[in-house]
Amino acid sequence: MTFEGYHRPNGTVGVRNHVLVIPSVMCANHVVDRIGRKLTDAIVVQHPTGCSQVGADFEQTKRTMAGFAANPNVAAVLVVGLGCETNESKALAHEIAARGQRVEVIGIQESDGTTNTIARGIELTSQMLREAERWERRAAGFEHLILGTECGGSDTFSGITANPALGRAADRVVAEGGTVILAEIPELVGAEHLLAERSDDAVARQLYELIARVERRAADMGVDMRYGNPTQGNIAGGLTTIEEKSLGCIYKGGSTRLREVVEYAERPTLRGLVVMDTPGQDIEQLTGMVAGGAQVVVFTTGRGTPTGSPIAPVIKVATNSGIFERMRENLDVNAGTVVDGSKTLDEVGDEIFRWVVEAAGGRKPAAEELEFRDFAINRIGPSF
Which stretches of the chain bind other proteins, using CB under 8 A? 155-157, 159-160, 186, 189-191, 194, 214-215, 217-226, 229, 235, 237-238, 240-244, 247-248, 302, 320, 339, 341
Classify burial at 251, counting beta carbons within 10 Å of its beta carbon; exposed 0-12, middle 13-18, buried 19 or more.
Answer: buried
Which residue(s) pair with 180 in the sheet?
147, 273
The nearest distance, CB 324 to other proteins, in angstroms, is 14
Distance of alpha carbon 297 from alpha carbon 314, whole angstroms: 5
Distance of alpha carbon 160 from alpha carbon 156, whole angstroms: 7
Nearer to other proteins, 22 or 239 (CB): 239
What SS3 state is found at 357?
helix
- Phi, psi (5° rounding) for residue 41? -80, -15
The nearest distance, CB 186 to other proteins, in angstroms, is 7
Most distant CA pair in the chain, distance: 65
Q: Which residue type occupies 361?
A: G
Q: CA dihedral defined by 292, 293, 296, 298, rounded to 10 degrees?
A: -20
Nearer to other proteins, 30 or 226 (CB): 226
What are the CA-CA distances from residue 82 to residues 61, 66, 88, 97, 350 (Å)?
A: 17, 17, 8, 19, 48
Distance of alpha carbon 308 from alpha carbon 316, whole angstroms: 9
Nearer to other proteins, 118 or 345 (CB): 345
Q: Which pairing describes strands 333-334 and 314-318: parallel, antiparallel, or unpaired?
A: parallel
The nearest distance, CB 291 to other proteins, in angstroms, is 26
The nearest distance, CB 279 to other proteins, in angstroms, is 13
Nearer to other proteins, 28 or 151 (CB): 151
The nearest distance, CB 332 to other proteins, in angstroms, is 21
Are 286 and 148 within 8 A, CB to CB? yes
Distance of alpha carbon 148 from alpha carbon 157, whole angstroms: 20
Distance of alpha carbon 199 from alpha carbon 203, whole angstroms: 6
Nearer to other proteins, 123 or 243 (CB): 243
Q: Can you say whether the dihedral through the CA atoms of 61, 62, 63, 69 is positive or negative? A: positive
Nearer to other proteins, 155 or 282 (CB): 155
Nearer to other proteins, 141 or 322 (CB): 322
Of 202, 188, 165, residue with least CA distance to 299: 165
Instruction: Identify the helix (H) or strand (E) that includes residue 296.
Output: strand 296-301
The nearest distance, CB 298 to other proteins, in angstroms, is 21
Nearer to other proteins, 249 or 274 (CB): 249
The nearest distance, CB 165 to other proteins, in angstroms, is 14
Distance of alpha carbon 258 from alpha carbon 128, whole angstroms: 39
Nearer to other proteins, 83 or 322 (CB): 322
The nearest distance, CB 246 to other proteins, in angstroms, is 8
The nearest distance, CB 161 to other proteins, in angstroms, is 10
